Amino acid sequence: RKEVEQDPGPFNVPEGATVAFNCTYSNSASQSFFWYRQDCRKEPKLLMSVYSSGNEDGRFTAQLNRASQYISLLIRDSKLSDSATYLCVVGDNYGQNFVFGPGTRLSVLP
Protein backbone atom coordinates (compact mmCIF):
# COMPACT_ATOMS: atom_id res chain seq x y z
CA ARG A 1 0.00 0.00 0.00
CA LYS A 2 1.33 3.43 -0.95
CA GLU A 3 1.92 5.86 1.90
CA VAL A 4 -0.24 8.55 0.33
CA GLU A 5 -3.00 7.75 -2.13
CA GLN A 6 -5.22 10.08 -4.13
CA ASP A 7 -8.18 9.87 -6.49
CA PRO A 8 -6.71 8.67 -9.79
CA GLY A 9 -8.43 11.25 -11.96
CA PRO A 10 -8.43 12.99 -14.31
CA PHE A 11 -11.37 15.15 -13.36
CA ASN A 12 -12.99 17.06 -16.22
CA VAL A 13 -15.52 19.59 -14.96
CA PRO A 14 -17.32 22.61 -16.45
CA GLU A 15 -16.60 26.13 -15.25
CA GLY A 16 -18.54 26.94 -12.12
CA ALA A 17 -18.69 23.34 -10.90
CA THR A 18 -17.74 22.17 -7.44
CA VAL A 19 -15.12 19.44 -7.33
CA ALA A 20 -13.73 17.43 -4.42
CA PHE A 21 -10.42 15.60 -4.17
CA ASN A 22 -9.70 12.85 -1.68
CA CYS A 23 -6.45 11.68 -0.15
CA THR A 24 -5.62 8.95 2.34
CA TYR A 25 -2.36 8.38 4.20
CA SER A 26 -1.04 5.31 5.95
CA ASN A 27 1.32 6.73 8.61
CA SER A 28 -0.76 7.49 11.69
CA ALA A 29 2.16 9.47 13.16
CA SER A 30 1.94 12.09 10.40
CA GLN A 31 1.64 15.62 11.75
CA SER A 32 1.53 18.06 8.86
CA PHE A 33 -0.68 18.08 5.81
CA PHE A 34 -0.72 20.15 2.67
CA TRP A 35 -2.28 20.53 -0.74
CA TYR A 36 0.09 21.62 -3.49
CA ARG A 37 -0.80 22.65 -7.01
CA GLN A 38 1.41 21.76 -9.96
CA ASP A 39 1.01 23.21 -13.43
CA CYS A 40 2.35 21.32 -16.42
CA ARG A 41 6.17 21.26 -16.46
CA LYS A 42 6.34 23.58 -13.43
CA GLU A 43 7.35 23.13 -9.82
CA PRO A 44 4.74 22.32 -7.16
CA LYS A 45 3.46 25.35 -5.28
CA LEU A 46 1.67 25.39 -1.96
CA LEU A 47 -2.07 25.79 -2.30
CA MET A 48 -2.90 25.47 1.38
CA SER A 49 -1.91 23.81 4.59
CA VAL A 50 -4.53 21.57 6.18
CA TYR A 51 -5.37 22.00 9.86
CA SER A 52 -7.24 19.67 12.19
CA SER A 53 -10.17 22.04 12.45
CA GLY A 54 -10.43 22.40 8.70
CA ASN A 55 -9.65 25.62 6.88
CA GLU A 56 -10.91 27.72 4.04
CA ASP A 57 -9.18 30.08 1.63
CA GLY A 58 -11.61 31.74 -0.73
CA ARG A 59 -13.07 29.07 -3.00
CA PHE A 60 -10.89 26.34 -1.49
CA THR A 61 -11.74 24.30 1.60
CA ALA A 62 -9.52 21.64 3.15
CA GLN A 63 -10.56 19.06 5.71
CA LEU A 64 -8.56 16.61 7.80
CA ASN A 65 -9.91 13.51 9.52
CA ARG A 66 -7.11 12.05 11.63
CA ALA A 67 -9.16 9.07 12.81
CA SER A 68 -9.77 7.97 9.22
CA GLN A 69 -6.39 9.27 7.99
CA TYR A 70 -8.17 11.17 5.27
CA ILE A 71 -7.69 14.62 3.74
CA SER A 72 -9.97 16.39 1.31
CA LEU A 73 -9.89 19.47 -0.89
CA LEU A 74 -13.06 21.14 -2.13
CA ILE A 75 -12.96 23.69 -4.93
CA ARG A 76 -16.12 25.73 -5.44
CA ASP A 77 -17.03 27.76 -8.54
CA SER A 78 -14.21 26.25 -10.62
CA LYS A 79 -12.29 28.57 -12.91
CA LEU A 80 -10.37 27.71 -16.07
CA SER A 81 -7.22 28.74 -14.19
CA ASP A 82 -7.81 25.98 -11.63
CA SER A 83 -6.76 23.41 -14.24
CA ALA A 84 -3.67 21.73 -12.79
CA THR A 85 -2.55 18.64 -10.91
CA TYR A 86 -3.29 18.68 -7.18
CA LEU A 87 -0.82 16.95 -4.90
CA CYS A 88 -1.59 15.74 -1.40
CA VAL A 89 1.49 15.98 0.84
CA VAL A 90 1.95 14.51 4.31
CA GLY A 91 4.79 15.38 6.68
CA ASP A 92 6.20 13.75 9.79
CA ASN A 93 6.52 15.14 13.29
CA TYR A 94 9.95 16.59 12.66
CA GLY A 95 9.16 18.71 9.62
CA GLN A 96 11.69 16.79 7.58
CA ASN A 97 10.07 13.84 5.87
CA PHE A 98 7.43 14.78 3.29
CA VAL A 99 5.57 12.13 1.31
CA PHE A 100 3.74 13.05 -1.86
CA GLY A 101 0.69 11.47 -3.36
CA PRO A 102 0.71 10.77 -7.11
CA GLY A 103 -1.57 13.74 -7.79
CA THR A 104 -5.00 14.21 -9.30
CA ARG A 105 -5.31 16.14 -12.54
CA LEU A 106 -8.13 18.63 -12.92
CA SER A 107 -9.28 20.12 -16.21
CA VAL A 108 -11.88 22.87 -16.01
CA LEU A 109 -13.67 23.19 -19.32
CA PRO A 110 -15.33 26.31 -20.78
What residues make contact with other proteins under the rule CB under 8 A? 31-32, 34, 41-46, 49, 87, 89, 91, 93-98, 100-103
In whole angstroms, how far apart are CA 74 and each of 53, 86, 96?
15, 11, 27
> What distance in Å separates the CA atoms of residue 97 and residue 18, rounded to the nearest whole number?
32
- Minimum CB separation of residue 101 from other proteins in Å reads 6
Indicate the Cα dihedral angle 4, 10, 15, 21, nearest 10°.
Answer: -20
Residue whose CB is less far from other proteins, 83 or 85: 85
Listed residue (85, 28, 81) closest to 73, CA to CA: 85
Q: How far is the CB of 34 from other proteins (least distance, A)?
A: 6
When the beta carbons of 12 and 31 are compared against other proteins, the nearer one is: 31
Pick between residue 15 and residue 39 the one whose CB is nearest to other proteins: 39
